[in-house]
Amino acid sequence: MSDVPPSESASPEPTPPSSRIAANAEYTSKDLQHLSDLEHVRERPGMYIGDTTGRGLHHLVYEVVDNSIDEAMAEFATAVSVTVHSDGSVTVEDDGRGIPVTIHEQLSEEMDREVTTLEGVMTVLKFGGKFQKGAYQTSGGLHGVGVTVVNFLSQWCEVEVSRDGWTWTQVYERGIPQGPVTKGHATKKKGTKTTFKADGQIFSTTKYSFDTLYKRLQELAFLNSGVHIKFLDERNGESGDFKYERGILEFVEHLNRASDVLHSDVIHMQGSRDGVEYEIALQYNTDFTETVQSYVNNIHTIEGGTHVSGFRSALTRTLNNYGKKENLFKATTPTGDDFREGLTAVISVRVPHPQFEGQTKTKLGNGEVEGIVSGGVGEQLTKYMEENPRVAKTIVRKGLLAAEAREAARKAKDMLRKRKDALGGGGLPGKLRDCISKKMEECEVYLVEGDSAGGSAEGGRMREYQAILPLRGKIINAYKSREDKVLANEEVQSMIQAIGTGIGADQDLTRRRYNKIIIMTDADVDGSHIRTLLLCFFYRQMYQLVAGGHVYVAQPPLFRVSRGKERYYIQTEEEMKAQLLERGLADSVFEAEDGRRIEGEQMEKLCTTLAGIEDAITAMERRGISLKAHALRLDPETNRLPPFHLFVGAEDHWFQSHEKVEEYLSANNLSLDSEAEPAAEGEEGAEGDKAPEEAAGPSVYLIELHEVRTINSALKDLQQVGVGIDDLIPQERTGSTAPRFELVRGDDNRRSLEDLRELLPQVRAAGEKGLQLTRFKGLGEMNAEELRETTLDPSNRTLVQVNLADAGAADEMFRLLMGDKVEPRREFIEKHALDVRNLDV
């Protein structure tokens, strides 16, 4: 599975008619509502970024990075940096032209006030520079939607533009500008720097995956040769530094790093026609599988499209022509599939107006691209083979060997069909516990690890429409084995017979016996291994089944909650915390010694806001800056803490805005030292981030505490419920025995609090009262009844739908870990050794 947490609503169960809300019988103009751009994006974020889980969260970063890459594609930028800060905010900076900051006449007329182009880009949908060919010839962005949506879905966002010799800044909170664009200091730099914090009110998780971002940024560096991309994750200190002068040639070498190659050089082809540019790199290895990565304007087209079909037809035609010309074919003539065995290729095209099709919008549909790619590849590959006959013959002979294996696989398939006919009754495997229903649309089969787990699943299943197929041991590795060997595997034969669609090119989804194929394995090492093997098999042999969205992974819950005779299950740690908070809030009242009393909706808002700044306060304190000390710098007029820490030699100063920093620097004839580096974290005690002592002259550098912006945004919400930053800090109290704060639940249940930060743990503890929490480790700990409740019952279970990216990631993992070369495997193990949670020794 991919690193990004997938949507848990991937397999929605139908709502019972009795529970549906009746529509208003009187349909009048009052039932119609007009939403602003901002309101529509925040009400319907899934329309713009797909979902509000981990996938949508990471999409925010991709949108901002894509704008920087578009500048690089237009040859105006050479460097991009991405930083994930300790509070979860993200900064993306490039050295491109910078977003224009002058007044935009059209927008100003429409809004009846002066509006800069920068504000328009950040706050107006369908406003951008990618609708005409003047600013961008090709682009991977959302054409006037991307960065605006990022701003609208962020708790706060700041954009700093460097152009025309000056810096220009504007700050937004939940999409609303907090002031005009301000002019800063003089600079020789050019580019755009965007910092944003995803809004916890919108997203179910705001924690980014380092591996997911690392992989995408490295991919972009491969696809845009010469562009320097730097990545830093301040949460754990991990980083990446990517610059590939040879571009996709190095991408192919990277993909083949765990394989033995048939020829040392990577074959490279490129060209353009009618505004369409194509670049292709390929290399053969000794493996038995095909790996083709295709991209359109840097967008990964996992379902292929016309650029891929054009490449494949040219490859088959050219190799066939060469084989016939050299009289290499005797009894067998290889097919296109044969010639693609062991092929690793990267296809990158740039299309001015791409048209995508397919459910996931990742399949190119432009018909003209197929002919352009096919003609160009055919011509250049023919020339290469004539100039490199040894390599050409090696590739063709590889195809001949594949053709012989295909013939052996055909015989294996024939044997399967004969066995099916001989057995009668559909030729189903004997260990399949089939369901009663014959309606394919409602039927589902669970692929269960081991006979013992299969027994529990058998006892807990809904026999009417749920089938169980136990799998003994680990199935054959579909990546390292030829097709005939895979088909000879008993477990594989059982799956093929049970599912009924056939495999490979013969696969026919209309013949499937089940609408959902559900992988159910333990969460331990063996279970993960089996799950990955199955995903690899489906990706290689039942591609259409995955593409059609019929493969799922059962995701058992992490917690069982018991309360008397009632019992239910919680999926994640975050959900458990949220539920304890919700239960604890019932009838909870916050009382202060000074008479303040908070309850009801205000109490809920108070606790939700506190939950949103837990990580930010912790991150600031890890810098060595205590909340108590920093609160002394609060601006009483704006109720904000200063986020900018300026060091001038051994002195330090705090400022509320870039503008104030610039005023100080100008008044004291100072300029920022780009070479100066802050002291190591915590190096100099309680206040952190101190500058080194003066040497030849005072070093001047600036640190921006992004977590302070998150705290400032929350302080505004806290102010609305009648509390402030002083309430978050313990106070020395003399002469009073009464508690400073109390959490009151009922007449007799009162808990004393030293400060407001103690409120959340106490509310959660109150929510846990009367509950018995059990944390599961895996399916193996569940009996048939628990398995039915948690993983089989559609009203309780969580299914994760497998997409092509998930299956492709599993396949790539096996290529790395199961390849013939040791070094890539060793590097992977060394990199991830400290992340291991389950290890069999």
Query: What pLDDT does residue 524 have?
Result: 66
164-207 pLDDT per residue, tens: 999 999 999 999 999 999 998 888 999 999 999 999 889 988 88
Query: What pLDDT does residue 612 have?
Result: 84
- Residue 404 banded pLDDT, cuts 50, 70, 90: confident
The mean pLDDT of 473-496, rounded to a whole number, is 78
Query: Catalytic one among 524, 659, 781, 793?
Result: 524
Most confident of the following: 22-31, 286-295, 439-448, 688-697: 439-448
User: Whose CA is closest to 569, among 797, 763, 801?
Assistant: 797
90-106 pLDDT per residue, tens: 999 999 999 999 999 99
Assess whether 337 carries a catalytic annotation.
Answer: no
The mean pLDDT of 708-713, rounded to a whole number, is 89
DSSP state of 771: -
123-145 pLDDT per residue, tens: 998 776 544 444 445 544 443 46
pLDDT at 414 over 70: no
- Residue 286 banded pLDDT, cuts 50, 70, 90: confident
Query: Which of 726 and 841 is assigned the larger pLDDT?
Result: 726
Query: What pLDDT does residue 424 have?
Result: 40
Q: Which neighbouring-strand residues pair with 198? A: 154
- Length of the chain counted residue by residue: 841
Neighbours of 512 (CB within 10 A): 22
The mean pLDDT of 142-160, rounded to a whole number, is 84
pLDDT at 379 over 90: yes
Query: What pLDDT does residue 463 have?
Result: 93
746-788 pLDDT per residue, tens: 767 889 999 999 999 999 999 998 899 888 766 666 788 888 8
Assess whether 526 carries a catalytic annotation.
Answer: yes
Query: Catalytic one among 522, 689, 707, 742?
Result: 522
Assess whether 39 carries a catalytic annotation.
Answer: no
Query: What pLDDT does residue 13 have?
Result: 44
List of residues 6+ apart from 56 with CB closer than 8 A = 45, 46, 49, 50, 203
Helix, strand, coil percent values for the chain (each to nearest 5):
40, 20, 40
- Fold match flag (39-242 vs 577-643+705-729+738-768): no
Query: Catalytic one among 449, 707, 789, 811?
Result: 449
244-265 pLDDT per residue, tens: 999 999 999 999 888 889 999 9
The mean pLDDT of 543-547, rounded to a whole number, is 84
Most confident of the following: 408-422, 442-456, 520-534, 789-803: 789-803
Query: Which of 80 and 486 is assigned the larger pLDDT?
Result: 80
Query: What pLDDT does residue 676 have?
Result: 43
Query: What pLDDT does residue 283 have?
Result: 97
Q: Classify domain 428-524+537-556+782-809 by CATH number.
A: 3.40.50.670
Given the candidates 3.30.230.10, 3.40.50.920, 3.40.50.300, 3.40.640.10, the CATH classification of the domain at 248-406 is 3.30.230.10
Q: Identify whether the C-beta of residue 255 lies closer than 8 Å to the C-beta of residue 344.
A: yes
Percent pLDDT > 90 in the chain is 43
- Residue 689 banded pLDDT, cuts 50, 70, 90: very low
The domain 577-643+705-729+738-768 having CATH identifier 3.30.70: the answer here is no
pLDDT at 467 over 50: yes
49 vs 65: CA distance, rounded Å:
15
Query: What pLDDT does residue 480 have?
Result: 66
The mean pLDDT of 334-361, rounded to a whole number, is 87
Backbone angles phi, psi at 152, to 5 degrees: -65, -30
The mean pLDDT of 729-740, rounded to a whole number, is 80
192 vs 158: CA distance, rounded Å:
11
- Residue 295 banded pLDDT, cuts 50, 70, 90: very high
Query: What pLDDT does residue 704 have?
Result: 86
565 vs 772: CA distance, rounded Å:
11
Query: What pLDDT does residue 28 have?
Result: 64
Query: What pLDDT does residue 8 have?
Result: 36
Query: What pLDDT does residue 10 have?
Result: 42
825 vs 821: CA distance, rounded Å:
7
The mean pLDDT of 783-808, rounded to a whole number, is 81
Query: What pLDDT does residue 231 have?
Result: 96
The mean pLDDT of 260-281, rounded to a whole number, is 95
pLDDT at 345 over 80: yes
Tokens (6 digits) for 625? 């800056």
- Residue 23 banded pLDDT, cuts 50, 70, 90: low
Strands (E), 334-436: 343-350, 356-357, 363-364
- Residue 4 banded pLDDT, cuts 50, 70, 90: very low
The region that residue 633 occupies, defined by phi over 0 for left and psi between -120 and 50 for alpha, beta otherwise, is alpha
323 vs 834: CA distance, rounded Å:
51
Q: Classify domain 39-242 by CATH number.
A: 3.30.565.10
Query: What pLDDT does residue 367 have?
Result: 94
Query: Catalytic one among 526, 599, 755, 793?
Result: 526
pLDDT at 209 over 70: yes
Query: Which of 317 and 746 is assigned the larger pLDDT?
Result: 317
The mean pLDDT of 218-228, rounded to a whole number, is 95
* Element spanning 813, H or E: helix 804-817
Query: Which of 814 and 426 is assigned the larger pLDDT?
Result: 814
Output the average pLDDT for the chain. Answer: 83
Provide the residue ranges of all domains of the chain, joining segments of one domain with +.
39-242, 248-406, 428-524+537-556+782-809, 577-643+705-729+738-768
List of residues 6+ apart from 608 with CB closer than 8 A = none
Query: What pLDDT does residue 551 have?
Result: 93
Assess whether 449 carries a catalytic annotation.
Answer: yes
